Amino acid sequence: MQNYLEFNFKIQPLQPWNEILMAELIEVGFDSFTEEHDGILAYIQADLFQEDALHELQLLQNPEVQISYTFQEMPNINWNEEWEKNFSPINIENQVSIRAEFHENQNLPHEIIIQPKMSFGTGHHATTYLMIQQMLDMDFQNKTVLDMGCGTSVLAIFAKLRGAGKTMAIDIDEWSVENSKENAERNNVELEISQGTAENLGSEKFDIILANINRNILISDIPTYVSVLNPGGQLLLSGLCFFDVDDILEVCTAQNLNLKKKIQREEWVSLLLEK
C-alpha cells in the first residue's frame, strides 16, 4: 500500500476551472479526485509529489481564477479498494456500457468490462466519453489502430469490439500497461500493449490513431502521429479544453490534416482529423 498526500484545493469560481485543474494535476502525478462544493480533493503518492511541478501549473498563474490549497498526509489504506467502491457504470449515448465485473449488465449494444484501478480513462471523464462518442460514427473494420496514452485501454478495446484489426496500445505509466493487459483479457480482445511514448512508434503504420492525452503532449507529438498515419487515415484527439482548440488546429493545419468533426461536452473538446 502507498502513502498518499491529500490536497484540498479551493477554487473561485468553481466552473470550469475545477475540471481544468484536475487535468493539469494528472500531468504532475495526481491520480484520483473528489469534487467538493467549493473545490476538489486531489490525491498523489507521497513519493511522486514534486512541489516545484505543482507551483509551475499554468492554472495557478491565471488571473481569472483564485486557487488556494492545503494538504495532509493520509493514512495507509488500500486505494484500489476505495477506487472500486466509488466506480459506477457508464452509459454512453445508450450505445456503450463501461462497467466493472461486479456491476449488472446494462444490455446495451456494446459492453466494455474493466477492472477500475487508478489508471486514467474509465469513461467517467468527459474526454473519454467524447472519444467513444466519436468512435461510434467511425469505421474500424479491419483497420490498424493505435491507442496512444491508453490508460485503461478502454478505447483500444472498443476499437477491437468495432472490428479493428491489429491494434496497439501505448502508455508511459507501468500501472496503465498492466491494467490494460488485464482489461484486454477480460474483454477477450487481442492488443499489443507496451510502455513508452510517441518516440517508440518506429516505422509502424496505422489507419486510425486515438490520442486522449493533453494539449502540450499533443502539440509535441502530432507530427510524429502524422508520420505513422496512412494516407486517408484518421486522427482522433481529446484531452483538450475549448480554449486549446485553436493551438491544436494550427499544428494540425501545418501537418496537412483536415478537420472532419468537432464535438464538445462541458468545457472539453474532441477533434476528428483526416490525413
Q: Are 185 and 113 in contact (CB under 8 A)?
A: no
The rounded distance, in Å, linking the Cα atoms of 91 and 109 is 11
Where are the alpha helices (H) located in 195-266, listed in sequence order? 215-227, 245-254
Is the pLDDT at 116 greater than 70, yes or no?
Answer: no
Q: Give the CA radius of gyration of the chain.
A: 18
Query: pLDDT tens across 25-41, in order?
Result: 988 888 777 778 889 98
Within the chain, how many helices (H) and strands (E) appear? 8, 14
pLDDT for residue 267: 80
Q: Are 68 and 77 in contact (CB under 8 A)?
A: no
Task: Please report, in range form, the residues annotated as the binding site for S-adenosyl-L-methionine.
Answer: 128, 149, 171, 212
Q: Which three cell numbers stand for residue 160?
A: 477491437
Is the pLDDT at 266 greater than 60, yes or no?
Answer: yes
* Most confident by average pLDDT, 20-34, 38-52, 82-96: 38-52
Query: pLDDT tens across 131-172, in order?
Result: 999 999 999 999 999 999 998 899 999 999 999 999 999 998
pLDDT for residue 259: 97
User: Could you give the dihedral angle defined by the CA atoms of residues 41, 100, 184 and 110, in that order, rounded to the nearest 10 degrees?
Assistant: -110
Strand segments, DSSP code E, in the chain are 4-12, 32-36, 39-45, 66-73, 90-92, 96-99, 110-113, 145-148, 167-171, 192-195, 206-212, 229-241, 258-265, 268-274
Task: Please report, in range form, the residues annotated as the binding site.
Answer: 128, 149, 171, 212
pLDDT grade for 119, boundaries at 50, 70 and 90: very low
Domains of the chain from N-terminus onward: 4-73 (3.30.70), 125-274 (3.40.50.150)
The rounded distance, in Å, linking the Cα atoms of 241 and 219 is 14
Query: pLDDT tens across 71-89, in order?
Result: 998 866 565 566 566 667 8
Q: How many CA atoms lie within 13 A of 72 on its CB side?
A: 5
Is the pLDDT at 126 greater than 90, yes or no?
Answer: no
Mean pLDDT of 257-261: 97
Mean pLDDT of 59-70: 92
Query: pLDDT tens across 167-202, in order?
Result: 999 998 887 888 899 999 999 999 999 999 898 888
The percentage of residues in the chain with a pLDDT greater than 90, rounded to a whole number, is 54
